[in-house]
Structure 1
Amino acid sequence: MIDSKLLDDLAKRVAGSVPVGLQLLQEDLQKNLRSALEAGLSHLELVTREEFEIQRAVLLRTREKLEGLERRIAELEADTRPSAD
C-alpha cells in the first residue's frame, strides 16, 4: 500500500503549483487531489521495494538453478550419445 505521508506530500505539491488565483481553494483542492490519488493508486497492483527485492532474489536463484539443470542435461546427453567410431 502507498504511504499516506507520500500521498499527502504529493497532493500538497500539486495543490501548491496551482495559479495564484486558485490558491484560495488550495486546501480543498489538496484534499480532493489526495482522494483522487489514493483512489487511482488503489487500482494498481503495486508492491513495496522490499517485496520487489525478495521476488528478484527468488527469480535469480531460480534462474541459476535452471541454468545448472540445463548444463547437467547437456552433459548427460553428451555422455549417452553413441561414439562415431
Structure 2
Amino acid sequence: MNRLSAESGTFRLTIIEGSSVSIFEKIALSLFPAKPVNYSRYFIQVRESRPVYYIIAAIPLYTLSAFFMIGGLVAGFMAPSILANLGF
C-alpha cells in the first residue's frame, strides 16, 4: 500500500512492474520464484484522506468517552448506595 499527496486535478496512474520492489523482496523472489502476476485481478483505489490532526484529536476524545462510559456504569451501580447515604 502506498500513499501520496497531490493537489486536486487530473492524473494518470501507471503500474510499472517491479518499480517499488525493495532489495529484500528481490532476494526473496530470487530464492522462491513466484507465479506471474495477473494484473487484471487487482485495482487501484484513490481516495481522499483526513488530515493527521483529526487522528491526533480523536485519540484523547476516544479516551475521554471511554472514561465517561465507565464512570456512568460505576455511578449507575453506586447510585442506590450514594442516595441512601444522602437520605433519599
Give TM-score scaled by structure 2 length: 0.39
- Higher RCO (CA < 8 A, seq sep 6+): 1
TM-score (normalised: structure 1) = 0.40
